[in-house]
Amino acid sequence: MLSGLNHLTLAVSHLPRSFSFYVDVLGFMPRAKWARGAYLSLGDLWLCLSLESVVERKTDYTHYAFTIASDDMPSLREKIQQAGAIEWKSNKSEGESIYFLDPDGHQLEIHCGDLESRLRSCKENPYDEMEFF
């Protein structure tokens, strides 16, 4: 039986650039780095950057979201903007969010809130045909 998320691996086209973005801009902790990859951590999350050919960015809603405290949002938003990250979506849901692209076009989100706050919001304003369990 599954017990949780083990790790995420992202293909990156330029390892030093992506390593710097995730460590210096987003605050991941470097754990190991080699010629074609790196292991980083953020809380319990294990992120692998793997030097590969990167397929052109999709335009669907698939993305990776990370948690931030509300007080830390303004300074990280500024850091992301100073890094030249492109915003790919405007926030329309509960909780403050920044939706932006990493250097290889991976769709990322920084979000204030959690599943419980989202469910509370949805109970007040449910999506079409939404049911709760």
Q: Identify the active-site residue in 78, 109, 116, 129.
A: 109
52 is catalytic: no
Task: Tell me, rounded to whole angstroms, the distance of Cα 17 from its chain centroid.
Answer: 17
- In single-letter form, the type of residue at position 70 comes to S
Q: Strand pairing of 97-101 and 87-89? A: antiparallel
In sequence order, which ranges of 1-132 are alpha helices (DSSP H)?
15-20, 73-82, 115-124
3-state secondary structure 102-115: CCCCCEEEEECCCH
Supply the residues annotated as catalytic: 109
